[in-house]
């Protein structure tokens, strides 16, 4: 007779498959020990006994999954739960082995990201220039992205400032559900790029996902300062605060304030 998988079996399989999720377990109150699993893609399995408690638990799980921070939450009076987060580190992909990428790679590691540098130019994409990153891929950006896992835990910063690199990279990145896609360049460069991307068939919805000019507008000039502005924008996006800082990221409507342009 076939055994019906339990919720614990399902959670174990998700962890083994590296499928990000948060598990909420009641640790005070009733039903003690009951669990609900909330996946990053929106799926929910299990119940804590009532729709109201489930609703609070699901919201708490999504919040904790977004911040990668486990902890105790109160679901209702007399009922506390522990939220476990099972997720791989967020992945920062730097397209272009330029000076800004060196600084941003350092910052990314400090922030707990797995960092990958991609560049087709072997003389730039070297361990000597990037001893601190997790991976260096010597390939054209679009080809590299085609071979990589790109999902809601992926943040892509396109730093090449060269249409033959950044536009194929943007087309590849925007075809996938990356959490963040930013492209370096001045406001005019970004607007000209949008025109070409539209001619290449990208939709307004896809183009609206591009953070360009990349980085928050902090007056950054040096590669290190630009890296800080990009990291700040990535943090704001990750924590769901970007919309609080700028009116829009859509070049088709209200362009965001000028950030880094180098």
The predicted structure's pLDDT at residue 101: 97
Amino acid 240: pLDDT? 82
Token look-up 């399902």 returns 10
Residue 226 token pair: 């630009």
What is the DSSP annotation of the chain? -PPPPPHHHHHHHHHHTT--EEEEEEEESSSTT-EEEEETTS-EEE--SSHHHHHHHHHHHHHHHHHT--EEEEEETTEEEEEEEE-PPPEEEEES-SHHHHHHHHHHHHTT-EEEEE-S-TTTS-TTT-TTSSEEE-S-HHHHHHHS--STTEEEEE----HHHHHHHHHHHHTTT-SEEEE-S-HHHHHHHHHHHHHTT--HHHHTTEE-S-S-SS---SHHHHHHHHHHHHHHHHTT-HHHH-S---TTSSPPPP----
Where do the structural domains in the chain lie, given as residue ranges? 7-86, 91-245
**Torsion over CA of 60, 61, 62 and 66, rounded to 10 degrees?**
100
Per-residue pLDDT of the chain (262 residues; tens, 9 = 90+): 344 469 999 999 999 998 999 999 999 999 999 999 999 888 999 999 999 999 999 999 999 988 888 999 999 999 999 999 999 999 999 999 999 999 999 999 999 999 999 999 999 999 999 999 999 999 999 999 999 999 989 999 999 988 888 999 999 999 999 999 999 988 888 889 999 999 989 999 999 999 999 999 999 999 999 999 999 999 999 988 887 776 443 333 333 333 444 3
Neighbouring-strand partners of residue 71: 83
Structure tokens at 152: 């809601």
Residues 6+ apart with CB under 8 A from 103: 223, 224, 226, 227, 228
What pLDDT shows up at residue 25?
96
Our measurement of the distance from residue 240's CA atom to the centroid of its chain's CA atoms, rounded to an integer in Å, reads 11
The CATH class for the domain spanning 91-245 reads: alpha beta
């Amino acid at each position: 007779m076939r055994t019906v998988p339990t919720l614990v079996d399902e959670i174990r399989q998700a962890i083994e498959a590296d499928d990000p999720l948060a598990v909420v377990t009641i640790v005070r109150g009733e039903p003690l020990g009951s669990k609900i699993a909330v996946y990053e893609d929106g799926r929910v399995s299990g119940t804590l006994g009532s729709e109201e408690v489930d609703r609070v638990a699901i919201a708490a799980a999504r919040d904790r999954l977004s911040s990668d921070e486990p902890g105790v939450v109160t679901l209702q009076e007399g009922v506390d739960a522990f939220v476990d987060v099972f997720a791989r580190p967020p992945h920062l992909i730097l397209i272009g082995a330029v000076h800004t990428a060196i600084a941003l790679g350092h910052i990314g590691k400090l922030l707990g990201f797995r960092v990958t540098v991609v560049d087709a130019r072997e003389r730039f994409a070297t361990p000597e220039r990037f001893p601190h990153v997790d991976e260096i891929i010597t390939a054209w950006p679009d080809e590299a992205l085609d071979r990589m896992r790109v999902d809601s835990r992926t943040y892509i910063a396109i730093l090449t400032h060269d249409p033959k690199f950044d536009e194929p990279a943007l087309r590849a990145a925007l075809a996938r559900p990356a959490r963040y896609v930013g492209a370096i360049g001045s406001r005019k460069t970004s607007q000209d790029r949008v025109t070409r991307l539209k001619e290449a068939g990208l939709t307004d919805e896809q183009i609206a996902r591009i953070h360009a000019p990349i980085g928050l507008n902090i007056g950054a000039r040096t590669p290190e300062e630009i890296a800080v502005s990009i990291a700040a924008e990535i943090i704001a996006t990750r924590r769901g605060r970007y919309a609080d800082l700028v009116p829009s990221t859509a070049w088709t409507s209200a362009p965001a304030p000028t950030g880094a342009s180098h």
